[in-house]
Structure formats: C-alpha cells, structure tokens
Amino acid sequence: MSLTHILLGYVQKFVARHVSKVSIVSPGSLRRDGVDSGTGLPTICLYVAPPGQCLCPFCCFPRSQFHVRSAYDPSFPTGAEYATNLPAFCAVRVNVTSSSSSSFTLGLFLPTAQAWNGRFLAVGNSGFAGGINWVDMGAGLQYGFAVVSTDTGHNASFLDGSWAFHAPEKVIDYGYRALHETVVLAKDLVKGYYSGPIAYSYYSGCSTGGRQGLVEVQRYPADFDGVLVGAPVWWVSHTQAWSVKVGTYNLPVNSSKHIPPSLFPVISAEVFRQCDAVDGLADGIITNPRACDFHPETLLCSPSSNKSACLTSDQLSTLDQIYSDYVDVNQTFVFPHLEMGSEAQWSVYLSGDSPGESGLDYMRYWVLNDSTWAWQDYSYEDAVLAEKIDPGACDADNFDMSAFQARKAKILHYHGLADGFLPTGSSEYFYNHVLRALVPKGVELDDWYHYFPVPGMQHCALSVNDAPWYFAGPNQASVLGTGVHSTPGFQDPKHDAILALMQWVEKGQRVDELVATKFVNDTVSAGVQRQRKLCPYPKTAKYTGNGSVDDAASFVCM
C-alpha cells in the first residue's frame, strides 16, 4: 500500500473523530526544497474534509531543508532560522477551533517508521509570541521523536501582547487550552500514523515555554511522563507587574536617578570584580550571586572621577532598587530582584523612555483593557488586580503537583543565574513553594523534581564571560546552528538534558548532575572551550583543587 493511501485512510478516521473541531487551513503553507524524487517521499497534500475545506496538508520530505512562509509564523522561525539537515519526515499542519471566537494551529513532524523512537515530544513557545516553533521541532525530530508545537492561537512577535485586547478566548488558548488540546489531538495522529501506542511522552520549553510545561503538570498531569522546563515565567501576573515597576525605577530618562545603558557594563565590571572570586575561583563565573557582599559605593563618583565610569548618589539609589525584591504596601512581597551578574541583559527593561513593552501590553490589553493606560499610571493596585484576574489562567501557582508525582513522572527545571529578563529567584521561589506544599504530605522532591541553577547563563541560552551554558535545553540548539541537536560530541545523558530526562523517566536513573558546555565563539566546529558541572539546588559546584578549571571533572556537587 502506498504512503498516500496510508495517510488518506488515517486522516479520514481523524476527521470522523474530530470533525467538530478541525477547520480550514490555507493550503501551501508548507513547502519543500531540494526533494529527490528517487527517495520515494514526494510531497503529498491530502484534502479529505468536506468540499471547500482543507483538513491539513500532509507533506513528506526526504533529508532536506524545511521552510515555513513567514506570514504564518512571524516569530518561529525568524530570518534564516529554519530547521535544517533534517532526516526524512512528514509535516502536518492542522487548525483547530477552540471556541466561537478563537482557534489555534498545530504543527507536527512525523519521522519515518524506521526512525521513530516510539516517543512523543511537545515543544513550547517564548514571550507573547504566536507561531509554531518549527526550529525546536526540528531539533526534536533528529532524536527520533514525533514532535509537535502550537501557535497558541495567534500570531505576534516576542514582546507584543496587543493581540489579547478584548479577546479573552485567545488569552485562554495562550494560557493553557491550545497546548493541551494540541497534545491530545497530536497524540491521536501519532498513534494512528504509526498504528501503535506511544511509549513515553515528553515536553520541553523555556521562558513562556517553561510556564506552559508547569501549567500542563498542574492541570493535566497525565499529558507527559517528563517535562524539561527552563526559566519558567510561571507567575505571569507578578512577573509583568514587576517588569513595569523595575522600569519605573530608572525613569524618567532626564531625572538625576536615571542610569544610562552606557553605565551597565561599568556596573557589571564592578560586580565581577567584587563577586567573581567569592566561590574560590576568579574565572568570570559567579556561582552564587547571593554569597557576594557587594558594596556599590565603590562606584560612587568623586570630584575627580571620570563621569562616564561612575554613579551619582541618586543613581546608586536606583541600583539598590534594581537589586532589591519588589516589596509594596504593608511589606507585601511581589517579585524577586535581578541578580548581580545579570547586567548584560538589563536593556530590555531599563534602557528606554518607558518600561519594557511586554509589561505595558499586559497591563493595557490583558488586565485593564485600556489602550490609553501609561506607565506613569502604574500602582500596586494594578498588581493586585492582575493577580486577581489572572487573564487566561496563565499563572502556574498550584504548587501541589502530587498527581504528577504519583504517576512517577519527572521534572527537570533550570534557570540561568545571569538572567536579565526573568529574575532567577522566581524559580527558587517556585521550587521552595512546591517543597512546602508537598513535604508535609510525605512527598519528597528529590526522586522526581530537580531544579538546576546555571551559573553565568542568561535567559534560556548564551552566557557572560564564556560561562558554559549549553546542555541541549529548549531554544538552545538553534543558537549553535539550525541543524544542531543534542550536544555535539557529547550525545549522552550527562551533557544533554533531554537524554537525562529520558533516562530518569524510563530507567529510574536520577539526574544528580549535568554538564554544561561552552563552545569557542559558540561555534561547534571551533571546539569546546569550557565545561562545568551543574548541580541540583541547593547544591553548587565546588572546585576540587585538582585539574583544569575548564574541565567539569574538576568539580564536585556539594
């Protein structure tokens, strides 16, 4: 039987099962490049819905470069960030009606039957971005996963939240509905396509993708057997309130308290001068920022100082606020502070003539439904209202995740300690609240949930001062190249977080450490520059005193 007939038969069954949900998808949204007709994998597009309606294009590719027209997915990918060097596979694009005023689209990659590893992987999104994450799907495909992503019901750029204006159903799709229904429908497609069960199901996402993973764990604990979550924006209502508040600290730009972006590197250099060696090594990596007794007064301008390399008293006060938790009325804790060492990414919130776009859009279009609202109008009451409304039920704040644990499912959670987009303390706060919710019930975390702080890593990927940051986490492979997957040269559970999670879930081998890698100039072909051991919280990597400080084997978790 031909591949066409196999696909046609299953799609007909799929339509019968989901006819009330599946709706039109514009044909031609997927295309192939350089297909060799001799491979036996010609492009196949099947239209089996009622006349005039297209269920989805099924397009099959040999080893090829995969392109998606940018009008469909402006954020995933962008520019030249296409998934490349892929094995033979089929691509599916399906649009699903989620309510009377909303719909979402899923994209699914299906490896050949011979290449399929028997497992399912869903990958997450970033920021407010709508769009299918084809790039991370490409990386997942190379492991052998059947891999899926959703646009969460809209198309928008990373920081643009205006699409949510008076669109509560779209916000619900973004909050939780689109991903869950994508998982349910995609699993049906996978099981039908391969005529067999899925052995294990996994999730991988960073930032908003991390939040999506934790929401899945809390709302739908049976969806996944293991989740890999990086820098999760799990407390959206508080994160966005903080992002506005921290921006106001440095405004207006013509005030004496304003720290211009040109001084951010000056501040960073002094932070590293005082804090780098606190862990015993002067290696450009701050292992534990909170262990540093930082004295910002060393930056204070004197009459003879170079004014381009020092801060005034008013600017020092602003710096103190940036490095302090957001605490408001009646000493109410709202959100943790940016860590020392995160200065390289401060521009997103602190460099313009207004706070960051994401927080402003969240307040205007999600919480207040008032497009005229300005940052000067912000007050603590806005933060209170945001938490009360929690648009789209985005907050992943149900810390009792015992239903997930009871299935023997696992969580690997990580966060860069030099993250200037999302304070690392938010992950520590989350972990500790899960601990407080479950330990009294006799549920220990060590056997199913590990949190790894990553010294020197920024938001999801990259680092300062060449700190090792790569371990095949979500959003990381494409930074090294769109054809990259796993950790080149080190494709094993110690160096690859996805493989580590799989080993924990499937073989019961707990992830007690990982190894992060830094390639020279973040270029795989240039070779490895440094590797460093990562340890589960609250442990940190300590130098043994023997061996190279660029060798992970020279460190032990303590």
Q: Which of 149, 207, 237, 554 is catalytic?
A: 207
419 is catalytic: yes
Question: SS3 for 248?
Answer: helix
Give kind and range of the element (H or E) at residue 146: strand 146-150
Q: Residues 142, 88: contact at Cβ < 8 Å?
A: no
450 is catalytic: no
Q: Which of 225, 419, 466, 496 is catalytic?
A: 419
Q: Which amino acid is at 195?
A: S
Q: Residues 211, 397: contact at Cβ < 8 Å?
A: no
Q: How far is Cα 25 from Cα 557, in angstroms, rounded to an integer?
A: 51
Closest CA to 138 of 63, 198, 212, 70: 63
126 is catalytic: no
**Cβ within 8 Å of residue 94, ≥6 positions away:** 22, 25, 55, 56, 105, 106, 108, 185, 189
Q: What is the signed CA dihedral for 436, 212, 289, 553, rounded to 10 degrees?
A: 100
Question: SS3 for 160?
Answer: coil
Helix axes 236-249, 313-322, angle to 10 degrees: 170
**Cβ within 8 Å of residue 224, ≥6 positions away:** 122, 183, 201, 202, 203, 213, 216, 217, 409
Buried b (16+ CB within 10 A) or exposed e, 221-246: bebbbbbbbbbbbbbbbbbbbbbbbb
Q: Where are the beta strands (DSSP E) in 196-330?
A: 200-206, 226-230, 326-328
* Rg of the chain (C-alpha set): 24
Q: Which of 180, 238, 459, 495 is catalytic?
A: 459
**Cβ within 8 Å of residue 358, ≥6 positions away:** 127, 128, 159, 161, 240, 243
The two three-digit tokens of residue 5, written as one number = 């007939």
Q: Residues 451, 457: contact at Cβ < 8 Å?
A: no
Question: SS3 for 200?
Answer: strand
Closest CA to 339 of 464, 462, 244: 464
Q: How far is Cα 194 from Cα 106, in angstroms, rounded to an integer?
A: 19
DSSP state letter for 234: -
Phi-psi region of 557 (alpha: psi -120 to 50; beta: other; left: phi over 0): beta
Q: How far is Cα 58 from Cα 420, in angstroms, rounded to an integer?
A: 41
Annotated catalytic residues are 207, 419, 459
